[in-house]
Amino acid sequence: MKKNLILTGMMGVGKSTVGKKLSIKLNMEFIDTDKVVEINESMSISEIFKQKGEAHFRGIEKNVCMTILKKKNCVIALGGGAFINSVVREMALNRCVCFWLDIETKLLSKRLLGTKKRPLINSLNLEKSLTAVYEKRKDLYGLADFKIDCNKSSAPLITKKIAKIYETRPN
């Protein structure tokens, strides 16, 4: 049975796009933790933040991740903040192969321009708020098994790189 493959990193870096491609390439199931949270709560992530607050969201996110991480043969795209939770992170590091998709916040801010789906981000000062989140998180993202530079690579190329590392890594 294959170890789960985890994708972590900032919102908008492409975890879901790359994750879907990887799941096809590696013949594994794809799971996006944000989607599971939304289905369980019958609400969008933005609505959960607005109506119940971030602390409530983080609680649900943690429970969802702990259930999903126990599954087998999955490519899992974690919500951008999930790996920051020490319980989720340790479980992911112990059971799965974790990849940090890293990208400069300048590039990210161009991609996320106009988004209404990311409640943590202040759209009036996009680059600054993304940089603040990135600076707080980068050391913890850095605990992932592999860091993938996504600045100059397309999703197919990133997928290829990750699949190669995953398939050839020593167990």
Among 6, 18, 31, 45, binds ligand S3P (CB under 6 A): 45
Q: Where are the beta strands (DSSP E) in the chain?
A: 5-9, 29-32, 74-77, 97-102, 146-149
Nearest residue to ligand S3P, scored by beta-carbon proximity: 80
Classified as helix, coil or strand, 74 is strand
The reply on whether position 19 binds ligand S3P by CB under 6 A is: no
Q: Which is nearer to ligand S3P, 54 or 149 (CB)?
A: 54
Contact between 126 and 113 under an 8 Å Cβ cutoff? The reply is yes
Interface mask toward ligand S3P for 63-102; x: CB under 6 A: ----------------xxx---------------------
- Separation of alpha carbons 164 and 117, rounded Å: 32
Neighbour tally for 22: CB within 10 Å:
23
Contact between 41 and 90 under an 8 Å Cβ cutoff? The reply is no
* Least distance (Å) between residue 74 CB and ligand S3P: 16
Among 21, 28, 34, 92, binds ligand S3P (CB under 6 A): 34
37 token code pair: 């949270």
Tell me which residues touch ligand S3P (CB under 6 A): 11, 15, 34, 45, 79-81, 118-120
